[in-house]
Amino acid sequence: SIDITHDEYIKIKNLDFPDFQDTNLIKIYDISNQMLCFSKCSIISKCAFVSFNGSKCRLLKRYAFRMLVESSKSAYCKNNCDDINGLINYWPIYESQVNDIVEGKDLYAPVNAFTTADRHGNENAAIRLKSGYYRVPEGVYFNGDFTVMAWAKVNKLVSFSRLFDFGVSRSSVLIFLSEAGTGKPGVDVISSKDLFTYSTFNKPVELSKWFHIAAVLKDSILSLYFNCTFQSSHLSNIPTRINRNLNFIGKSNMGNPNADADIDDFKIFNRALNIQEITDECKELF
């Protein structure tokens, strides 16, 4: 290991990161001095990995660890960079890949779904749905408290179209992109004992403009955030640990039309993030 300004860098032998441009890549520097490369990482709190190849110094975030591949070279890990703090699923979307880099729940069977530019202008780094959807593998995604977040851009108002809908029978955890024709996204947990309440944004979102949405369940209170700002909350059903086999990005389990939207950086945590953690996520500029 290597000590730099109180940070410890541990060599990950014969593993490195492929060349990619997505939100897990912080920055690339032209640096021929490896120690200077480590120093760059140490002054950036979000930096968790260093990849050094010739004169190229790449700094990466902690969520990038699932992207490591076999290599003749080696990456370096800063401190406890394998701690993903409750993140159980993450679909970053990069280079046309629609993989879950945490649990391998890769999106599949697209219908009217493509890759497009993300909010930073990187090509093939977000998904575009044109009255379309992806399927998501079955699995246990929820059990009590959770946080779900994503970046989204609504291209057309479609009544109760879904950002995601993960369910079994008529029990679902979902985010819709427009409450009827209001243009206000919302979140709900539906069960056989539905409470017939849900939270929405206070105002409609602008069409064709990226925004960050986060839904947080803490105990029985389900709260909704728009671009780091609290919107509303309600008394919610609590999702139980069941295997969900009707899971979609962009498609409803209740017959609502498919989404017309772009989606990126979709994450699920098995705990309720606090406001500072939500702010750190949605103000991500890299």
Instruction: Decide: residue 33, CB within 10 A, 0-12 exposed, 13-18 middle, 19+ buried.
Output: exposed
Residue 189's identity, in one-letter code, is: V
pLDDT reading at 57 higher than 60: yes
Is pLDDT larger for residue 1 or for residue 215?
215
State the pLDDT at residue 282.
83
Tell me what the pLDDT averaged over the chain comes to: 90
pLDDT, one tens digit per residue, over 76-123 is: 988 766 566 788 999 999 889 999 988 889 999 999 999 999 999 999
Task: Give 71's contacts (C-beta < 8 A, 6+ positions apart).
Answer: 14, 15, 16
Of 64-73, 166-175, 214-223, the least confident: 64-73
> CA–CA separation, 268 vs 95, rounded Å?
21
Secondary structure tally for the chain: helices H, strands E: 2, 21
> Lowest-pLDDT range, 17-21, 57-61, 225-229?
17-21
Round to whole Å and give the CA distance between 24 and 113.
23
CA distance 215 to 71: 38
pLDDT band at 286 (very low <50, low <70, confident <90, very high): very low
Instruction: Quickly tell me which residue has 């046309």 as its tokens.
Output: 96
Overall average pLDDT of the 238-257 stretch: 95
Question: Roughly how many angstroms between the first and final C-alpha of the chain, as a whole number?
Answer: 27
Torsional class of 84: left (φ above 0), alpha (ψ -120 to 50), beta (otherwise): alpha
| Residue 39, token pair as written in the block | 């120093």
In this prediction, residue 152 carries a pLDDT of 98
Predicted confidence at residue 285, as pLDDT, reads 46
219 Cβ partners below 8 Å, 6+ apart?
145, 238
pLDDT at 3 over 60: no
Residue 204: pLDDT band with limits 50, 70, 90: very high
Tell me the H-state helices in 9-55: 34-42
Could you tell me the domains of the chain? Answer: 2-78 (3.50.4), 87-282 (2.60.120.200)
So what's the pLDDT on residue 4?
A: 61
Task: Tell whether the model's pLDDT for residue 1 goes beyond 90.
Answer: no
Q: HEC profile for 45-103?
A: CCCCEEEEECCEEEEECHHHHHHCEECCCCEEEECCCCCCCCEEEEECCECCECCCCCC
Query: What pLDDT sits at residue 11?
Result: 85
Given this model, what pLDDT does residue 72 score?
87
Q: How confident is the model over 29-58, as a mean pLDDT?
A: 89
Q: Is 242 helix (H, G, I), strand (E, B) or coil?
A: coil
pLDDT digit string (tens) for 10-39? 888 888 888 876 678 889 999 888 889 999
